[in-house]
Amino acid sequence: MSRTYPASLPCLCANLRRASRALTQRYDQALRPLDITITQFTILQALSLTGVVSQGRLAEILAMDSTTLTRTLAIMSKHGWILSEPGPDRRERRLSLSPAGRRKFQAVLPHWQRTQAQLRARLGPDRWGDLMNAINHVALAVTD
């Protein structure tokens, strides 16, 4: 065990949560000057990939409770980044990026990219790829 950091705890969840906190702090720090969090940027990115999508489906994609999304979308809507229209099924909200949301996404993109690139360089492309595979496999294994 190093002075400042133990190699591992016995719990996979604890270790994953620790890595998640560390990474989140790093990304949030990089995005702070742009007044957006990695949580919010992730939603911009997801919407930019999916196009129009219901809140429930977006929650599924992010393995996030749909009611959590309600709160975060409220914050993002205050910034004018989100379009939310009732669908043909009028219980559901059909979400998409507003023009301001697209602009915001484009503005933040290079900062996000720089942060990813730094981390990728530090880990090496092999470890990076393995990591991406592994964590997505976990998410899958847990979800279904």
Partner DNA sequence: TCGAAATAGATGTATATACATCTCATTTGC
Partner DNA sequence: GCAAATGAGATGTATATACATCTATTTCGA
Residue type, 112: W
Asked if 126 is part of the footprint of a second copy (rule: CB under 8 A), the reply reads no
Secondary structure tally for the chain: helices H, strands E: 6, 3
Asked if 50 is part of the footprint of DNA (rule: CB under 7 A), the reply reads no
Asked if 3 is part of the footprint of DNA (rule: CB under 7 A), the reply reads no
Instruction: Provide, rounded to whole angstroms, the least separation between the CB of residue 103 and a second copy.
Output: 19
- In the list 8, 29, 113, 136, the residue contacting DNA (rule: CB under 7 A) is 29
Interface size with DNA, residues (CB under 7 A)? 32
Site string for DNA, 100-139 (x = CB under 7 A): ----------------------------------------
Query: By C-alpha distance, which of 51, 52, 43 is closest to 85?
Result: 52
Give Dmax (Cα) for the chain. 58
Contact status, residue 81 vs residue 44, Cβ threshold 8 Å:
yes
Which helix H or strand E contains 118, and what residues bound it? helix 99-123
Query: By C-alpha distance, which of 65, 60, 35, 34 is closest to 46?
Result: 60
Binding site for a second copy (CB under 8 A): 4-27, 38-39, 41-42, 45-46, 49, 60-64, 112, 116, 119-120, 122-123, 127-128, 130-132, 134-144
